Structure 1
């Protein structure tokens, strides 16, 4: 089974691309979705112990947790030290299930793939990209997003140019859904031998 890492900076269209891979029948592990599950499961007591008062009714309160870690690199590293191993174990179990089921290709959707050393966990990497002005407009249109938050997020991410340099495949989402979908089909075909 080929493991394809899917990544891209905030606002580039990575979530849409992940959905398109899934719609094409490729199993996709979504790291963000895994974090949401963990924040209502096994991560709760660990996060509460590290950041007291950030959980309620058996779930992590992301807004309260954000106040602890946003802008505090030490606190953020502490949180990542809790969450990243749990997400990795979840992804490993996902891959084992699909490998056993005979899947030819599986996608690991990892927002911080290069930043967290995830390159060694995948066979190939596809980077989702878009021009900086489009990215900025998409991100600032999100509810609750500010210029300050956007800059803080970008500061934690490897630059788009560097991601593209390290990629095996690049999909520019500025050309619309149909072009993005066609690019995904072409990648699936190249990796599995199934031409669309």
Structure 2
């Protein structure tokens, strides 16, 4: 079973692209959704995060804004957070792989926002980067409720620059031209990955 990493900076259209893979019949693992489940009431991350960052839970669930305030811009706190959450996400991902194999999937997509930043790309058969021009990216993100330019800049400071991601990617999905062109790019990626003569593979350089 082939493993495709899907990544891209905030506001690039990664979630929409992930949905296109899913609609094409490829199982998609959403790391952000997995984290959200871990943060909900009864989630496995609630107790350890409250122990590490007292006061970040409310009514038995993690208050994501309170947690964000505690770790944003604090490398030590971010490392503690990752040390708690990443192993829990990894365990959840194991179940996803088992379910995909049982369903007979020939490939899966792992939707991981910080794929390159965490070194996860080394475990992928290929990496797809979702991209758009910076001005379009900022317009999309700043239109989100509660988002500010300051917060966006803080988020981007933790992410690898889009140009570097594109340079390292095996495939790039350009979302700046609309949904249908992006969907066509996704279909082409799936076709290439299913062709042993064309797919990049872990031992080949990005195209």
TM-score class, shorter-chain normalisation, is over 0.9
Structure 2 residue corresponding to 1:172, chosen from 171, 174, 184: 174
Report the counterpart of residue 85 of structure 1 in structure 2: 87
1: distance between equivalents of 2:154 and 2:14? 19
Report the counterpart of residue 17 of structure 1 in structure 2: 17
The 3-state SS of whatever aligns with 1:120 is helix
1: distance between equivalents of 2:80 and 2:119? 17
The 3-state SS of whatever aligns with 1:85 is helix
Report the counterpart of residue 165 of structure 2 in structure 1: 163
1: distance between equivalents of 2:188 and 2:176? 17
Q: Deviations over 1:81-104 (max 9, x none)?
A: 111121122122211221233211
1:19 CA displacement = 0.7
Q: Deviations over 1:127-150 (max 9, x none)?
A: 000001101111111111111111
Gaps of at least 5 residues in structure 1 are none
Gaps of at least 5 residues in structure 2 are 196-207
1:120 CA displacement = 2.0
1:109 CA displacement = 0.1
Query: Within 5 A, what are the aligned runs for 1:38-187?
Result: 38-40=38-40, 41-187=43-189
TM-score by length of 1: 0.95
Q: Deviations over 1:37-96 (max 9, x none)?
A: 011210000101001111122210111111211222211111111111211221222112
Contact 1:29 1:107 in 2 (8 A): yes
2: distance between equivalents of 1:181 and 1:92? 28
The 3-state SS of whatever aligns with 1:45 is helix
How many aligned residue pairs are there?
193
TM-score by length of 2: 0.90
The 3-state SS of whatever aligns with 1:10 is coil
Contact 1:91 1:108 in 2 (8 A): no
